[in-house]
Every structure is written in structure tokens, then in C-alpha cells.
């Protein structure tokens, strides 16, 4: 069965049918297609095209098709062009000739937009839930080691000491922005396209607002040509998903390093690591490597649809059927990666000794000393020079900050005061970083409380 056979003398070639068919993948839209079609049938009734009895019969038939679709044999030997054609054919098996009326004033161009929007809207909610799960796991991890000091890096060189929760909350902020991006994408998805026809608007007086209300859409689209031409809403999701994956890849990379023997900061749970078939001692961070690796697939999906849409003439072109596989792929991989990351974070153990040691030994307190000198009246540039010389001298003689005393500092340069010796321990300097957004323990404590509250609000 074709929805368009009349104008053709022969049917499509077998090769073309295989080449152009989308049922293999767009069958994922079946539930949305039926939900959208039921709303459309009610709109046909309101427009006087179907009687109440016909409407009930068709809605019942759609429900029966939906029930059938849950049996494994449903898709067997289905050779339909796409999911929309399949559903209408199955409807015919249930409702008889009446099914021939359901496509009145409707085009697959708007139908595919509707189905994808309905499906994606639900998936965005799932992605958001997975994101919130990970954000909660970061907060819990911060709560388990509220006072742990770690070495912070720039250029992957030891930079300044920070609290472990401060580091975790940096990722919380990234994911909070991701949640915003998903909400923005959702708002653009949540717009009802039916009534647009193929491109020019439907010739039947549909109550578009009523259809939108029935399907829980926030708004209706404003231009029928735009509906047939638009896949921005999918690109918006792909962008949000790509940034999520980018953030996840950085977390994964950090934790692969931090859990290595060289760092020894983190112990990943057995449940998220695997061994080597040859080397008995190995415990590999495969979960994190796969999270990092799956980035390629999601970025690829984004790039794929971006390139597909580029330069397409108005309005619908069959190229646009190529939107679905990348979108499905990105949704699957992103949600799975978020769930995996949550479990990794939930089950990892911080080993506070090594990161604190790295913070103590790496001259991370140099900035604290320079700032103390500057607070005591030495212009910062000079303070920087003095501490730079102190570090150079210490590097030459193999001295760590803890090998100095306040008196020795004062002897090294008259600008130092003996009480500045306190700052030789990184915990002291951290206390000075009490500006909002800084790593002072009290500031971080407040940020953590706020993060919990913000997450509750996001979760609604
Ligand atoms: N399977 C098509 C798609 O996914 C549905 C729209 C078909 N429209 C058309 N004019 N051939 O894009």
C-alpha cells in the first residue's frame, strides 16, 4: 500500500524501495504517530469531516493498532515505506474503508514533524532526569569529603589548592547550564505543527489550538512553510546533547587520570572497571573511557544533521528523513552516558592523602604568599618577584614549602613577616578565597547548600 499511487504507471523499483524506506528506524515513532493521529481524528470531527461514531471507531482502531504493536510479530514482514504508512495500513485492517478518511487535509511532512516533536519532548525529559541524577551524585560526593584538599591545575601543571567539593561543584555548574540548554531546546520542540498541510496550510478549518491543548503543547507553529522546512528543534537538542557529552568527556578524562596509579586520588568501584585478559593486575577505567569515546558518536550526529540541512531549498526535501538516525543515536548515547557517569561518581572513593600531598608539595601556596605580601603593602609585581625567587631557591635546594619556617622566610626577604609562615600550609591560603565563587571552606559550604536547593528547583 502506498499513500500516493494514483499518478504512477508502475510501482517503485525494489532497489529504490529499500534505499528510501525508513520503517527500520522510524518505527520508534509509532506511539507518537498514533497519539498524534488520534488528536488529528478528533480535529477532523470538530471540523465536521467525521461523525462522532466514526471518530470513536477510528480512535478505538488506533488503540487496537497500538496494542498490536506490542506483540513481537507486529513489524514482521512489514514492507511499508515508513511508520506513517504502516500505521494507516494497520488502521485499515481494524477500521475498514473508514481509515481512508484519516489523512484528510494532512501531510506526512507535518506528521513527521509532529511525531518527532512528541517523541523528542519525552526523551528530553529523560535526558534531564539522567542529568539531575548525575548532579545529585556530584553533590553527594562533595558531602562525603567536605574538607578534602586537592591540587588544582592549569596547563595540567600544579596551580592552586582547592577543596574537593569546589572541584565537583565546577562540574555541577556545567551540568546546570546543560539543564538550561535542554529546557530551551524543549521549549522549541514543544510547538504543535499540525494544520500546516504539505507546506501551504491545511484547506480544512482545524482548531489548531485545541489540537495543541489535547497533546499538551505549549504553542502552535506560526508558518506552514517553516514547519515543512524546519529541523532546528532537533539541532537544538543535538547541540545541548553535544555540550553534555563534552562536559562528560572532561569529567571522564579527569577521573581516568585521578584514578591512575600515578595520581592515586580516586578508587573506582570494581563494578565500573574491567580487567585485562592477559595482565592479571589490571583494573581499567573502561566506563569512563566509553563515556569519553561516545562523544564522537554524538558530535557526529550533530554534524550529520547540520550538514544534511545545509542549503536545502524551501520547504520539505526527502534529505530530511536523514534526521532520525542521528537524533535517535544522540538521545540513546547521551542518556546512557549520563546514567553511567552517575554510577561512576556514586561509587568512586576519594583517597584524600595524595591530592593533599600534591597540594602541599607543589608550591601551590606561592600565590597565597605573594598576595599576603601585597596585602602587607608590597606592590604585587614585587611580591610576585620575591616569591618567584623563593621558589627558584627552593627548587634548586630541593625544599618543599613545609621545609620553611616563618622566621626563615623573614630572613630570606625582609618583606616577609614571620606570621606569614602560616600560609606555608595550603589550608590557610584557601581561607582567603572567600569571594563568592571562591574555594574558601565557608564559601564552598554555602555553595553546596545552594546547589542542593537549585537542583530541587530544577527537578520541580
Ligand atoms: N519518512 C518521511 C520522513 O521521515 C516522512 C515524510 C515523507 N514526505 C514526503 N513528502 N515524502 O521525512
Q: Got the DSSP string for 80-105? A: -SSHHHHHHHHHHHHHGGGGGGTTTT
Query: What is the mean predicted confidence (pLDDT) over 100-121?
Result: 97
Q: Which atom in ligand 1 lies closest to the alpha carbon of residue 81?
A: 1
CA 365/CA 159 separation, integer angstroms:
9
Q: Is 134 helix (H, G, I), strand (E, B) or coil?
A: helix
Going by pLDDT thresholds of 50, 70 and 90, the confidence category of residue 92 is very high
- Residues 123, 263 share a domain: yes
Q: What is the pLDDT of residues 295-323, one digit of tens each?
A: 999 999 999 999 999 999 999 999 999 99
Query: What is the mean predicted confidence (pLDDT) over 126-133?
Result: 98
Q: Both ends of the chain: CA-CA distance in Å?
A: 46
Q: Which atom in ligand 1 lies closest to the alpha carbon of residue 83?
A: 1
CA 227/CA 440 separation, integer angstroms:
52
- Residues 114, 65 share a domain: no
Taking residue 260's Cβ as centre, other Cβ atoms within 10 Å add up to: 12
- The yes-or-no verdict on residue 216 having pLDDT over 90 is yes
- Residues 440, 412 share a domain: yes
Is residue 117 in a domain?
yes
- Residues 377, 339 share a domain: no
Last residue of a domain, one of 101, 131, 162: 101
Q: Assess whether the C-beta atom of 199 lies below 6 angstroms from ligand 1.
A: no
Cell numbers describing residue 10: 508502475
Q: What is the pLDDT of residues 19-46, one digit of tens each?
A: 999 999 999 999 999 999 999 999 999 9
pLDDT score recorded for residue 3: 84
Please identify every residue annotated as catalytic. Answer: 155, 276
Omega before 315 within 30 of 0, i.e. cis: yes
Separation of CA 176 from chain center: 10
Q: Assess whether the C-beta atom of 4 lies below 6 angstroms from ligand 1.
A: no
Q: Assess whether the C-beta atom of 108 lies below 6 angstroms from ligand 1.
A: yes
Cell numbers describing residue 93: 485492517
- Residue 94 Cα to ligand 1 midpoint, Å, equals 24
Domains held by the chain: number? 3
- Residues 333, 369 share a domain: no
- Residue 27 Cα to ligand 1 midpoint, Å, equals 13
- The yes-or-no verdict on residue 122 having pLDDT over 80 is yes
Query: What is the mean predicted confidence (pLDDT) over 414-437?
Result: 97
Closest C-alpha residue for ligand 1 atom 11: 318
Q: Which atom in ligand 1 lies closest to the alpha carbon of residue 320?
A: 12
- Residues 130, 242 share a domain: yes
Is residue 459 in a domain?
no
Is residue 457 in a domain?
no
Residue at grid coordinates 606561592: 366
Last residue of a domain, one of 75, 101, 127: 101
Q: Assess whether the C-beta atom of 221 lies below 6 angstroms from ligand 1.
A: no
- Residues 94, 116 share a domain: no
pLDDT score recorded for residue 5: 84
Query: What is the mean predicted confidence (pLDDT) over 245-254?
Result: 98
Is residue 213 in a domain?
yes
Q: Which atom in ligand 1 lies closest to the alpha carbon of residue 324?
A: 4
Cell numbers describing residue 146: 567536605
Q: What is the pLDDT of residues 131-173, one digit of tens each?
A: 999 999 999 999 999 999 999 999 999 999 999 999 999 999 9
Query: What is the mean predicted confidence (pLDDT) over 239-251?
Result: 98
- The yes-or-no verdict on residue 433 having pLDDT over 90 is yes
Residue at grid coordinates 466514526: 54
Strand partners, 266: 350
Q: Is 413 helix (H, G, I), strand (E, B) or coil?
A: coil
Is residue 305 in a domain?
yes
Q: Assess whether the C-beta atom of 109 lies below 6 angstroms from ligand 1.
A: yes
- Residue 185 Cα to ligand 1 midpoint, Å, equals 23
Q: Quick one: which H or E segment has residue 150? A: strand 149-154
pLDDT score recorded for residue 230: 98
- Residues 379, 337 share a domain: no
- Residues 387, 287 share a domain: no
Q: Assess whether the C-beta atom of 316 lies below 6 angstroms from ligand 1.
A: yes
Q: Assess whether the C-beta atom of 320 lies below 6 angstroms from ligand 1.
A: yes
Q: Assess whether the C-beta atom of 384 lies below 6 angstroms from ligand 1.
A: no
Number of helical (H) and strand (E) elements in the chain, helices listed first: 18, 6
- Residues 240, 158 share a domain: yes
What's the mean pLDDT when you consider all of the chain?
A: 97
- Residues 326, 262 share a domain: yes
**372 to each of 367, 378, 400, 428, how far by Cα in Å?**
8, 9, 19, 11
- Residue 318 Cα to ligand 1 midpoint, Å, equals 6
- Residue 151 Cα to ligand 1 midpoint, Å, equals 55
- Residues 160, 135 share a domain: yes
Last residue of a domain, one of 356, 371, 404: 356
Q: Which domain holds residue 112?
A: 108-356
Q: Assess whether the C-beta atom of 22 lies below 6 angstroms from ligand 1.
A: yes
CATH number at residue 306: 1.20.200.10
Query: What is the mean predicted confidence (pLDDT) over 342-366?
Result: 96
Q: What is the pLDDT of residues 272-294, one digit of tens each?
A: 999 999 999 999 999 999 999 99
Query: What is the mean predicted confidence (pLDDT) over 357-361?
Result: 94
Is residue 458 in a domain?
no
> Pocket of ligand 1, candidates 20, 36, 82: which has the most ligand atoms within 8 Å of its Cβ, to mutate?
82
pLDDT above 70 covers what percent of the chain? 100
pLDDT score recorded for residue 116: 98
Is residue 453 in a domain?
no
Cell numbers describing residue 94: 481494524
Amino acid at each position: 500500500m502506498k499513500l500516493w499511487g494514483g499518478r504512477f504507471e508502475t510501482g517503485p523499483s525494489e532497489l529504490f524501495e529499500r534505499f528510501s524506506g525508513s520503517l527500520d528506524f522510524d518505527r520508534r515513532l509509532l506511539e507518537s504517530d498514533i497519539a498524534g493521529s488520534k488528536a488529528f481524528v478528533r480535529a477532523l470531527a470538530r471540523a465536521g469531516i467525521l461523525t462522532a461514531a466514526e471518530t470513536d471507531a477510528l480512535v478505538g482502531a488506533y488503540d487496537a493498532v497500538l496494542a498490536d504493536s506490542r506483540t513481537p510479530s507486529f513489524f514482521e514482514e512489514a514492507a511499508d515505506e515508513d511508520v506513517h504508512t504502516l500505521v494507516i495500513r494497520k488502521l485499515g485492517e481494524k477500521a475498514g474503508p473508514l481509515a481512508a478518511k484519516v489523512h484528510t487535509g494532512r501531510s506526512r511532512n507535518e506528521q513527521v514533524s509532529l511525531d518527532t516533536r512528541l517523541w523528542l519532548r519525552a526523551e528530553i525529559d529523560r535526558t534531564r532526569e539522567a542529568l539531575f541524577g548525575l548532579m545529585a551524585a556530584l553533590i553527594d560526593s562533595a558531602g562525603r569529603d567536605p574538607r578534602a584538599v586537592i591540587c588544582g591545575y592549569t596547563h595540567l601543571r600544579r596551580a592552586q589548592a582547592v577543596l574537593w567539593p569546589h572541584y565537583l561543584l565546577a562540574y555541577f555548574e556545567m551540568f546546570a547550564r546543560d539543564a538550561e540548554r535542554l529546557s530551551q531546546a524543549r521549549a522549541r520542540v514543544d510547538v504543535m505543527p499540525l494544520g500546516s498541510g504539505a507546506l501551504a496550510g491545511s484547506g480544512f478549518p482545524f482548531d489548531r489550538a485545541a489540537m495543541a491543548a489535547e497533546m499538551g503543547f505549549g504553542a502552535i507553529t506560526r508558518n506552514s512553510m517553516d514547519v515543512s522546512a524546519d529541523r532546528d528543534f532537533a539541532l537544538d537538542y543535538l547541540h545541548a546533547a553535544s555540550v553534555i557529552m563534552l562536559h562528560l568527556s572532561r569529567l571522564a578524562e579527569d577521573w581516568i587520570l585521578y584514578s591512575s596509579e600515578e595520581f592515586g586520588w580516586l578508587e573506582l568501584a570494581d563494578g565500573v572497571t574491567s580487567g585485562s585478559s592477559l595482565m592479571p593486575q589490571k583494573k581499567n577505567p573502561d566506563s569512563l573511557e566509553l563515556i569519553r569515546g561516545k562523544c564522537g558518536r554524538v558530535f557526529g550526529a550533530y554534524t550529520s544533521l547540520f550538514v544534511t540541512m545545509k542549503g536545502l531549498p524551501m520547504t520539505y526535501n526527502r534529505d530530511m528523513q536523514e534526521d532520525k538516525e542521528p537524533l535517535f543515536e544522540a538521545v540513546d548515547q547521551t542518556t546512557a552516558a549520563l546514567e553511567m557517569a552517575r554510577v561512576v561518581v556514586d561509587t568512586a572513593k576519594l583517597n584524600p592523602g595524595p591530592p593533599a600531598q600534591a597540594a602541599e608539595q607543589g608550591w601551590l601556596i606561592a600565590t597565597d604568599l605573594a598576595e599576603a605580601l601585597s596585602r602587607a603593602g608590597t606592590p604585587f609585581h614585587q611580591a610576585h618577584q620575591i616569591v618567584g625567587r623563593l621558589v627558584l631557591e627552593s627548587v634548586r635546594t630541593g625544599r618543599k614549602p613545609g621545609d620553611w619556617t616563618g622566621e626563615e622566610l623573614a630572613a630570606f626577604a625582609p618583606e616577609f613577616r614571620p606570621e606569614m609562615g602560616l600560609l606555608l600550609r595550603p589550608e590557610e591560603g584557601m581561607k582567603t578565597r572567600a569571594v563568592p565563587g571562591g574555594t574558601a571552606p565557608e564559601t564552598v559550604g554555602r555553595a553546596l547548600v545552594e546547589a542542593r536547593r537549585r537542583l530541587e528547583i530544577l527537578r520541580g
